[in-house]
Amino acid sequence: MAMEEYFSAVRKMEQLVLFPSLLRGVFVEQDDTATADFGEKDLYEHYLRLKSIKLAVEGGQVPREKCKLPVTNKEEKKENRGDANLEELFYHHFTGLYHVLMTLTRKANALTRKYNDIIGEINQNDTVLTW
């Protein structure tokens, strides 16, 4: 469900954002929970990141620099315990993934709303030329 919502939000964002360059230098006001995760980066960087994550998840590929993460002693101990905690480990990671996907979905929706606001302002400020 969360993954479907994320893909749907990013797909909608991709369809509506025809000119991503309009997002350069645009920052979201940190006034609600949907935009609280944007931090210091402009919406253009978030747009690129959201698309990149979607492509990576769809393709099932892990970026090269993340492929060879070092195994900590704690992880080695968990591995050595065998299958006993696999279900617990699965739900731990599944819950984490769910929270990440929900955060990314909120970001995609907030970015789309902001882009629509920008386009609305541009349309209001345009003068009608008659020939």
Domain range list for the chain: 2-125
- Taking the C-alpha atoms of residue 124 and residue 130, their distance in angstroms, rounded to an integer, is 17
* 119 Cβ contact list (under 8 Å, min separation 6): 22
* 16 Cβ contact list (under 8 Å, min separation 6): 112, 115, 116
pTM (2 decimals)?
0.69
CA-closest candidate to residue 23, choices 48, 42, 49, 37: 42
pLDDT tens, 47-106? 999 999 888 888 776 655 555 545 566 666 655 566 668 878 888 898 899 999 999 999
